[in-house]
């Protein structure tokens, strides 16, 4: 399946307050070092390599937006989850776009968050 057939959403289309009722759950599929450097507060971190073993952590009753650094890994995960029946979209251009739009991020170290 080409990426243009995978359900996607741009940063500007997402609510700024992701903890609000009805906001999607962000699922970050990047590696631990990428996550530690900077991620979306409240996102669920499931590295792509662990996804199949941790599928029970991804809720089916809530919209899910999958994110990685630039949108490639998350597109593959989005397609996999969509085939499994989840209501899911890929974050177009990933964390690079999130950061470029000035959306809030946090880091594990307390240092200024960045996208790796």
**Which residues belong to the active site?**
68
Query: Going by C-beta distance under 8 Å and a sequence separation of 6 or more, which residues neighbour residue 50?
Result: none
For residue 39, what is the DSSP state? Answer: B
Token readout for 82 is: 């969509």
49 phi/psi in degrees, rounded to 5 = -65, -15
Distance of CA 106 to the CA centre of its chain: 14
């Amino acid at each position: 399946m080409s990426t243009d057939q995978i359900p996607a959403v741009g940063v500007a289309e997402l609510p700024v307050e992701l903890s609000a009722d009805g906001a999607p759950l962000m699922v970050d599929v990047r590696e631990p070092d990428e996550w530690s450097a900077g991620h979306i507060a409240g996102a669920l971190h499931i590295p792509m390599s662990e996804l199949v073993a941790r599928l029970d952590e991804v809720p089916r009753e809530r919209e899910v937006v999958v994110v990685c650094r630039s949108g490639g890994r998350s597109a593959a995960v989005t397609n996999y989850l969509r085939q499994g029946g989840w209501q899911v979209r890929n974050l177009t251009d990933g964390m690079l776009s999130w950061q470029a739009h000035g959306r809030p991020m946090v880091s594990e170290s307390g240092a200024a968050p960045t996208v790796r």
